[in-house]
Amino acid sequence: MGQDDRVIHYTNETIHGMKTNYNSNKTQELSLDVLVVSDFLTYQAFLEMTNGDSHKAVHDLKVYLQAVFDQVKIIYDGISFNNETLHMVFAGTYISTQERDCPLWLSWAEDEEERVLNEEIRRLEEDESRWNSTVEDEEFMNTTALDSNSTEQLISSERRKKLRKFVDVTLEEMQENNSTEMALKMDSKKAVDKFTIWLKEQQGLPRHEHAVLITKFDLISINGNSATQGMAYVGNICENGDSSSVVEDIGAGLTSLIVAHEIGHSLGALHDGAYESADCDSNDNYLMAVAVSGSADHQSFLNSRKMSNCSINSIIENLKEPTASCVKKWKTKGSEKNAQKDFMKKPGETVNLARQCQIAFGPTFKPCLRLMVPIAVIICGASKAFAFRTPRNGWTAKT
């Protein structure tokens, strides 16, 4: 052995000391990297708003998706989990500018083709039956109808069983006030399934721990209800592909509320009033209420950006699971947190009132400033002066 050679002996004690010294300069915090994905229909909506300018459409859509995320971040910054804040980190965006890139489009096209084919088969069978039948037995026909109904109930029951690990959210106020129907519909459970598969198959997506798809598809519940506005897996945070949610884009602050709600499900919270959250009343309008409502009542409005104790406790318990370890990260002590926070524009500054009306209802809508009242809503109207209301909740200020 040469004079300059050194041999360093490591023991359990020296290794423990090294770990202690390393960790003494670190602190653990809760954070979640969120990827925001836009589907092809959402891109088309922005393309229409920009008069076919694809570059401006992509730019404006990125600004919008960032603004939606920023509002979600503001909501979670105001929630305490055992005196800790769960920081939302923007992982980036993915915009589907072509049909073939859209996570849901091919699925919808296949379903639509199957629906048309089945409808044609049914029509041909009816025509054949009409030609072949000379006598109609009324009792037999009634029995057949009863059997058909029983089959439908059996299928519905099976679908409910499969849907136990999913939860959706409806939006009361938008259903009451927004008469605009989205042209394309999709089963909400299938939408989450397809998005999950798409995430697992994609290469080169920004690194993330949860992905949310913003879509212009009208999400339909298992009962055929169009009021469903979002769906997610429950308690599957950090799991590749399964840590995901699908949210119907209804414009501005309400879309942000639903995104925050669905992320809450992925973190482990169920609806208030259900199962382990039975002690918390959904009517209190907290973030994890069954139906999100942009109420004009001040306290109800504030509650919509908070979580009930039941939701907070459910998330705290779920974060103890090894599968949720990605949320806990080591950070260097004294490092600047959110250094750009005070210099960043608020969501309402990047997406103005006019654009919020267009996103929610279409390119011909604009804010009716003379009808605005000092509550957290925007009143939008078209050329026929028919007014709609969409909450602007929190888009211009932190709540």
Which tokens in the block code for residue 288?
Answer: 């994890």
Q: What value does the mean pLDDT take over residues 361-370?
A: 66
More confident residue, 207 or 100: 207
Q: How far apart are CA 289 and CA 307, in angstroms?
A: 9
Q: How far apart are CA 367 and CA 389, in angstroms?
A: 10
Tell me how far CA of residue 5 lies from CA of 1, 11, 14, 15, in angstroms.
Answer: 6, 20, 20, 22
Q: Which residues are annotated as a binding site?
A: 261, 265, 271
Within a 13 Å sphere around the CA of 357, how many CA atoms are in the beta-carbon half? Answer: 19
Tell me how far CA of residue 158 lies from CA of 155, 164, 193, 293, 299, in angstroms.
Answer: 5, 10, 17, 30, 40
Tell me how far CA of residue 192 lies from CA of 21, 172, 242, in angstroms.
Answer: 45, 22, 9
For residue 10, the one-letter residue type is Y
pLDDT of residue 94: 96
Contacts of 309 (CB under 8 A, 6+ apart): 280
pLDDT of residue 383: 53
Query: Contact 73/260 with Cβ under 8 angstroms?
Result: no
**DSSP SS3 for 251:** coil
Question: Where do the domains of the chain lie, and which CATH numbers do they carry?
Answer: 28-104+164-347 (3.40.390.10)
**Of the ranges 12-26, 68-82, 162-176, the best mean pLDDT one:** 68-82
pTM of the model: 0.70
Query: Contact 265/271 with Cβ under 8 angstroms?
Result: no
Q: Which residues are annotated as a binding site for Zn(2+)?
A: 261, 265, 271
Q: What value does the mean pLDDT take over residues 70-99?
A: 94
What is the tens place of the pLDDT at every residue in 333-350? 665 454 444 445 565 666
Nearest to 40, CA basis, from 17, 57, 22 = 57
Q: Provide the annotated active-site residues.
A: 262
What is the tens place of the pLDDT at every residue in 239-272? 999 999 999 998 768 899 999 999 999 999 999 9
Lowest-confidence pick of 25-29, 133-137, 286-290: 133-137
Q: How far apart are CA 101 and CA 40, in angstroms?
A: 8
Q: Strand 228-233 vs strand 166-171: parallel, antiparallel, or unpaired?
A: antiparallel
pLDDT of residue 301: 82
Query: Contact 338/233 with Cβ under 8 angstroms?
Result: no
pLDDT of residue 291: 82
CA 139 to chain centre: 49
Burial class (CB in 10 A: 0-12, 13-18, 19+), 276: middle
